[in-house]
Structure 1
Amino acid sequence: MKNLVKIAFTIALVCSSFVSFAQKTATTKYKCMVQMTNYPGEGAYIVVSLIDPKGAYEKTLYMMGPDKQWYKDLKEWNKFQNKKKSNINAITGASIAGGDRSMTVLEIENSKINAGYSLRFESAVENQEYHLKDLEFPLTTENLAKKNEGTGYIRYVRLNAN
């Protein structure tokens, strides 16, 4: 009888740990529409990063710009990327020209929302200005549902749960 109770307790413990882990790693996909300002010149390279509550880079969510030779122009992100060396091939798309808009999908862990994290949109254009925080906003339910205004090449960004 004692063995049966121990087995039942062990199974319950394993199941509750699995459910807890699954809840922490659950993600939601968001359609991300980026509308650019009407600037002259080449297409902008934009990186979307998850920023932790202390203000440090945690993860690259998306890279708009396919040529690695220009990643150095996104100065702060490039420092992070060179230290962490994550593979971003699966989350890379085209750069965005002035006045254009782009639709992408960002996958965000549900546990990061309303937990002190932020989304940062860092931008650079060849032979023009670099914007460390073209757009940065707290990752809250409210901010995910509204239009967020950029300060550089980005006019605004809208996110919608997929």
Structure 2
Amino acid sequence: MSKPLLTTLAAACALALPALAHSRQVTLSAQLKNYGGNGAYLAAYLTDAKGAYAGTLWVAGGKAKYYKHLSDWNRLSSGDAKRLNGVTGASVGAGRTLKVTANLADALIDAGYEIHIDAAAEDMRDSPSEIRVPLSTGNAGKPQAGKQYIQSLTFQLQ
């Protein structure tokens, strides 16, 4: 299931330099395990080199009352009033794949930023920062294992 996303991260805006005018398309593919429960809520977001929230890429799961279970993302992004503008969709079923495409400023790649995904499923344990991987050219195309719900996360840079 493809979820095109045309959003510019707040961090890129804050670093408004002519060099940031170029962007690259990043496609995340998160393959979920067959964990035997209801659809998972997932929050894909970026943090900078110091671990500060840099922007939300996608939130899978439509009921905001459950976002508190995506605890790292919810805590870090709580001051970002625009965190959900155009970046939400349905929860993701066990064994399914979430595919998200975003445009990110070139300056964010190989600059210490990390992709995080928080995960939670009803009546199951929450998994903050279920997976985190540096946003680097060296990690592109290499599957990274999750802890509880995500079998693997792979991202591609175009």
Query: Tell me, what secondary structure is at the counterpart of 2:17?
Result: helix
- Kindly report the root-mean-square deviation, in angstroms, between the aligned alpha carbons of the 2 structures: 1.7
Partner residue, 1:66: 62
1:1-162 paired onto structure 2 within 5 Å:
21-162=17-158
Q: What is the CA–CA distance in structure 2 between the aligned matches of 1:119 and 1:87, rounded to whole Å?
A: 15
Q: Which runs of 5+ in 2 are unaligned?
A: 1-15
- For residue 118 of structure 1, report the CA deviation from its aligned partner: 0.7
Q: Which has the higher helix share?
A: 1
Give the aligned length.
143
- What TM-score do you get using the length of structure 2 for normalisation? 0.82
Q: What is the CA–CA distance in structure 2 between the aligned matches of 1:148 and 1:107, rounded to whole Å?
A: 21
Q: What is the CA–CA distance in structure 2 between the aligned matches of 1:37 and 1:133, rounded to whole Å?
A: 16
Amino acid at match of 2:87: I
- What TM-score do you get using the length of structure 1 for normalisation? 0.80
- For residue 72 of structure 1, report the CA deviation from its aligned partner: 1.2
Query: Tell me, what secondary structure is at the counterpart of 1:76?
Result: helix
Q: Which runs of 5+ in 1 are unaligned?
A: 1-19
Partner residue, 2:11: none
Q: What is the CA–CA distance in structure 2 between the aligned matches of 1:106 and 1:70, rounded to whole Å?
A: 24
- For residue 87 of structure 1, report the CA deviation from its aligned partner: 4.1
Q: What is the CA–CA distance in structure 1 between the aligned matches of 2:66 and 2:133, rounded to whole Å?
A: 25
Tell me if structure 1 keeps the 8 A contact 2:56–2:83: no
Q: What is the CA–CA distance in structure 2 between the aligned matches of 1:101 and 1:63, rounded to whole Å?
A: 14
